[in-house]
Structures are given as structure tokens and as C-alpha cells.
């Protein structure tokens, strides 16, 4: 399966799909405008907080996928992450929000380098637009009340400590059955090195030599992988 940057991916299993499928709810909600405290990487923004903050490297594909499961097309529109330990009501904004409207229009994955507060981040929300036809359109929405219980995410987490630069994966849709968010990854060392070089071109001054491969951990929307040394 080909992706931008030569990404080599692993597909979902039906067992994992059925586990996560129970969390999907077809709704008619519109586009939310949540914002989080994450700051897009620039050298100026990073230099003063390099030891106190963390940098998260994440790539997201928000393009429309045709013939996605039983739908004519589907599109991943938003992902939200809560920082662990922060008590949040159902209506509170997530600490880190990625939305299609805030991303540049392009084909394939968009690479995001974000300066964030260090800690563990729980996937607490997502939104997928799905259409059976031009006139029949709905949204699959995962919400905090469903995805997070007792301070833990049923969908998955990633962590980044102060001073770290962490690659957590490539996020797109899986369309084997009902569309769900899925965390893919770069499985080849050469592809990963090329990817970091591309990120450095997109974000001048990005500290690629510090980047660690630490995938978003999940048992429901991605397969485990640990690169060999």
C-alpha cells in the first residue's frame, strides 16, 4: 500500500475493527472549531522552550477516500487528544486538535510538527464525514464520554517528555469495513530517514537528529510495531 514519503503501512484486522466499530455513532453534527495550546514548530518558537516543551511529529491524511467500506466516500476531518491528568467535561476542548480546515490543501499526508506541553496524550475525539450518496451524508463521531474512561483512552495514547522530539505516526482512514481512524507508520529505516529530511525542509531548523520513533500506542486503531536497532 503506497503512501506519500514511500510510507509502508500495516492494515487493520477484522477483530480490531469490530472492537472499535462499537464506538462509532452516526450523527448529524457540523464542524467543530476547537483549538488547543499546541504551537506549530518554528525555530524562534522552539529555541526558548526546547528544554521545557516537547515536539510531536504527526502526519495526517484528510483527503476524501472513495469506496470506503459501504460508503461512496469518507473523509477523516478531526482528531482530538486530551493531556492525561486533566479533568475535562464533555463540552471542554481537547488539548491538541487537528482539523482538516486548518491544514493546507494537498494530496496525501500533511506533516505537522507541533510544540506541546510534555506528557501523555489520550485520543479523546475524532470525526469522520461519510456519504452513501450526494443526498445521504452523515458523520461518525467518537467523543470523550465514549473514548475515555477512568483517565484512560480506549482508542490509544502517545507520550512525549520535556525536551523530546517524537514521531507518533501517520493517521488516515481504514476502509476495510466501517471507516475508522487508523495509525499507520513508516516501517523502513530509509523511508523514515527520507521522511525526516522532508520534514526538515518543511520546517527549517527542525531537530531531526533528536527525533525518536515512538508510535501512538493502540490495540484498536493501529498495529504494534517496533523498529529494529
Distance CA 159, CA 118 (A): 8
Domain containing 85 equals 4-39+60-213
Note the pLDDT of residue 19.
Answer: 36
Give mean pLDDT, residues 110-124. Answer: 95
Note the pLDDT of residue 86.
Answer: 72
Does residue 46 lie in a domain region? no
Helices (H), the chain: 14-21, 43-47, 144-147, 189-202
Residue 202 has pLDDT above 70, yes or no: yes
Total-model pTM: 0.83
Residue 15 has pLDDT above 60, yes or no: no
Residue 8 has pLDDT above 80, yes or no: no
Phi/psi at 106 (5° precision): -165, 165
Does residue 228 lie in a domain region? no
Distance CA 56, CA 151 (A): 21
> How many domains does the chain fold into?
1
DSSP 8-state class, residue 111: E
Flag the least confident range among 26-30, 66-70, 213-217.
26-30
Does residue 149 lie in a domain region? yes
Does residue 53 lie in a domain region? no
Amino acid at each position: 500500500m503506497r503512501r506519500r514519503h514511500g510510507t509502508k503501512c500495516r492494515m487493520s484486522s477484522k477483530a480490531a475493527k469490530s472492537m472499535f466499530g462499537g464506538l462509532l455513532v452516526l450523527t448529524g453534527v457540523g464542524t467543530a472549531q476547537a483549538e488547543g495550546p499546541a504551537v506549530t514548530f518554528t525555530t524562534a518558537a522552539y529555541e526558548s522552550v526546547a528544554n521545557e516543551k516537547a515536539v510531536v511529529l504527526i502526519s495526517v491524511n484528510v483527503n476524501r477516500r472513495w469506496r470506503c467500506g459501504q460508503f461512496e466516500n469518507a473523509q477523516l476531518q478531526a482528531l482530538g487528544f486530551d493531556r492525561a491528568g486533566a479533568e475535562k467535561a464533555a463540552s471542554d476542548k481537547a488539548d491538541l486538535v487537528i482539523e482538516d480546515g486548518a491544514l493546507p490543501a494537498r494530496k496525501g499526508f500533511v506533516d505537522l510538527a507541533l510544540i506541546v506541553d510534555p506528557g501523555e496524550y489520550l485520543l479523546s475525539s475524532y470525526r469522520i464525514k461519510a456519504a452513501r450518496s450526494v443526498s445521504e451524508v452523515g458523520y461518525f463521531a467518537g467523543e470523550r464520554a465514549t473514548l475515555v474512561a477512568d483517565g484512560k483512552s480506549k482508542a490509544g495514547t502517545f507520550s512525549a517528555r520535556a525536551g523530546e522530539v517524537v514521531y507518533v505516526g501517520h493517521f488516515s482512514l481504514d476502509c476495510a469495513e466501517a471507516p475508522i481512524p487508523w495509525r499507520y507508520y513508516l516501517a523502513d529505516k530509509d523511508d523514515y530517514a527520507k521522511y525526516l529530511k522532508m520534514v526538515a525542509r518543511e520546517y527549517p531548523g527542525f531537530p531531526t537528529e533528536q527525533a525518536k520513533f515512538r508510535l501512538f500506542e493502540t490495540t484498536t486503531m493501529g498495529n504494534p510495531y517496533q523498529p529494529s536497532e
